[in-house]
Chain A
Amino acid sequence: MELTDRACVAQARAGDADAFRVLVERHSRSLFRLAFRMTGNESDAEDVVQESFLRAYRQLDKFDERATFGTWLYRITANCSLDLMRSRKRRSEQMAPSDPDRDDPILNLPSTAPSPEREAQSGQVRDRVAEALRELSATERTAFVLRHFEGMCIEDVSRVLECAPGAAKHSVFRAVQKLRRALEPLVSTAK
């Protein structure tokens, strides 16, 4: 019989590494999706997933058993991604400007458009969306990804961001506002 997350956590806390392995194997793919949406980069997302599990293991004693393990892991992953994005931003500010699109796989997503013309158009849309997401601050992107893609309530988003719910709500709003300003012309012409 398959062990529940709660049972695995209890066994992992007692020193059973195999129980933690079950949790890693069970949650890695969903954490990767979250990390990719946050960082916009496959290699960074993989690093974030690994770091998140290591942090989770170290903090297992802090996990409140009444909470959902998956949600708790999501919070850790969101925080790891946030740390990475902030450190990248600091680093990029220090380094000479390079091509920011080079490592962003969002820009290399496969197109399903049938004709070269449509293909060019949809590629352009993808580029603009990726660019608009990249233009968001780390906090805005985190708030937006958690609320929009992961469906977290504002209360949970505010816990991840360690801010008041009102501030989290405002970050979501600012993110959507920026996306709308950046993408609306594109959407209007595609009508």
Chain B
Amino acid sequence: MTHLSEEELVLHYYGEEEGDTLAAEQHLDTCGECRAVYTSLQRVLNVVDGLTLPERDAAYGERVWRRIEARIPARRRRWTGWLPARARWAAAATAMASLLVAAFFIGRSYTPARRVGAVANADPKAGERVLLVAVGDYLERSQMVLVELVNANPQHPLDISAEQERAAGLVSESGLYRQTAEHVGDTAVADVLDDLDRVLLEIAHSPSRLSPGELETLRQRLEAEGILFKIRVLGANVRNQEESAPEKPSAGRQKL
């Protein structure tokens, strides 16, 4: 008699076996050895089932909403949804350029972003490329701030006010890039920029003098979140896109 393997018994328990269910049941009826294993399996899984869960009351959903409400970005129907991704980036670059040029005239623009605006407004294709360069540059500057903190190995409290100032500057700049990514539906980029934003904000609002222990905690958090890795990957994608932006219109995967 061929016995059922442990894997077959597990799959039978979940009704996922590839073979004949009835045959497996008949075998279990007649084979004491397999039935003993199967019974033991059932008992173990019953014990696991017996674990109760902490419940949340009916108002829990409301509390969750209150916690996330402020982080929900404003959403508009995407008028560029029918365009291919590259065309959406180009359209977004133009739209962003208009915003930036307007910002320039009212005297509120940020210098690197203003350059993006001026070029992109003159030529949308060039604008797309400049936008990619700007995002790439933004990621690189963010990476430098984070790497400096991660690599610092002080014996005494460290003054991070310079890094905080740079982090605050980067935060003020990031919103535009993130909105652009959301606007073109590139959630991968938007997600990384969102994560990066949170980290930079945290740094900007930390005490300006960190003890070696606090710095170590921060370093571990940055590593645990894998933010540097994400920035490197995204940065590499941006560079690849930069290289192909002017020559290859609307072909292949276009998202960052």
Which of A32, A87, A172 has a CB less than 8 Å from the CB of B56? Answer: A32
B11 within 8 Å of A (CB atoms)? yes
**Chain B interfacial positions (CB closer than 8 Å to A):** 6-7, 10-11, 13-14, 16, 40-41, 43-45, 47-48, 50-56, 58, 60-62, 64-65, 67-69, 71-78, 81, 182, 185, 187, 190-191, 194, 220, 223-226
Question: Which of B40, B64, B71 has the largest count of A CB atoms less than 10 A from its CB?
Answer: B64
User: Does the CB pair A57–B72 fall under 8 Å?
Assistant: yes
Q: Which residues in A have their C-beta under 8 angstroms from that of B47?
A: 125, 129, 183, 186-187
B196 → A minimal CB distance (Å)? 15
Number of A-B contacts (CB under 8 A): 135
Query: Is the CB of A134 closer than 8 A to any CB of chain B?
Result: no
User: In the complex the two chains form, what is the Cα distance from A46 to B68 in whole Å?
Assistant: 11
Report yes or no: A55 in contact with B191, Cβ–Cβ below 8 A: yes
Provide the bound-state CA to CA distance between A90 and B221, in Å: 11
Tell me whether A24 and B68 are in contact (CB under 8 A). yes
Known: A27-B61, A28-B64, A29-B56. A169 touches B11 (CB 8 A): yes
Check if B182 sits within 8 Å of A58, measured CB to CB.
yes
Kindly state the separation between the CA atoms of A50 and B68 in the bound complex, as whole angstroms.
Answer: 6
A147 to B11, CA, bound (A): 11
Complex contacts, B223 vs chain A, CB 8 Å: 90-91, 94
Chain B residue contacts of A186, Cβ below 8 A: 47
Closest to B77 in A: A14
Q: Mark contacts of A51-69 with chain B using CB atoms, 8 A cut-off: 1 yes-contact digit, 0 otherwise.
A: 0011101111110000000
Contact of B14 among A12, A13, A53, A172 (CB under 8 A): A172
Q: Are A110 and B6 in contact (CB under 8 A)?
A: no
A95 surroundings in chain B (CB, below 8 A): 220
Task: Please measure, in the bound complex, the distance between the C-alpha atom of A169 and the C-alpha atom of B12, giving whole angstroms.
Answer: 12
The residues of A that contact B72 with a CB separation of less than 8 Å are 17, 20, 54, 57
In the complex, the answer to whether B48 meets A61 with C-beta atoms within 8 Å is no
| Cα–Cα, bound, A24→B36 (Å) | 45
| A24 and B76 form a contact (CB under 8 A) | no
- Give chain A residues whose Cβ lies under 8 Å from the Cβ of B62: 25
Query: For residue A14, which residues in chain B have a CB less than 8 angstroms away from its CB?
Result: 75, 77
Going nearest first, the 6 A-B pairs with the smallest beta carbon separation are A25-B61, A28-B61, A91-B224, A28-B64, A15-B75, A187-B43
- Known contacts A58-B182, A169-B11, A184-B44; decide if A53 and B53 are in contact (CB<8 Å): no
- Residues 13-58 (chain A) with a chain B CB within 8 angstroms: 13-15, 17, 20-21, 24-29, 32-33, 36-37, 42, 46, 49-50, 53-55, 57-58
- Extra contacts besides A36-B53, A133-B48, A169-B16 (15): CB < 8 Å: A13-B75, A14-B77, A28-B56, A87-B226, A94-B223, A126-B51, A147-B14, A172-B14, A172-B16, A176-B44, A177-B10, A180-B44, A184-B40, A186-B47, A187-B43
Q: Is A105 an interface residue (CB 8 A)?
A: yes
- State the CA gap A29–B16 with chains docked (Å): 28
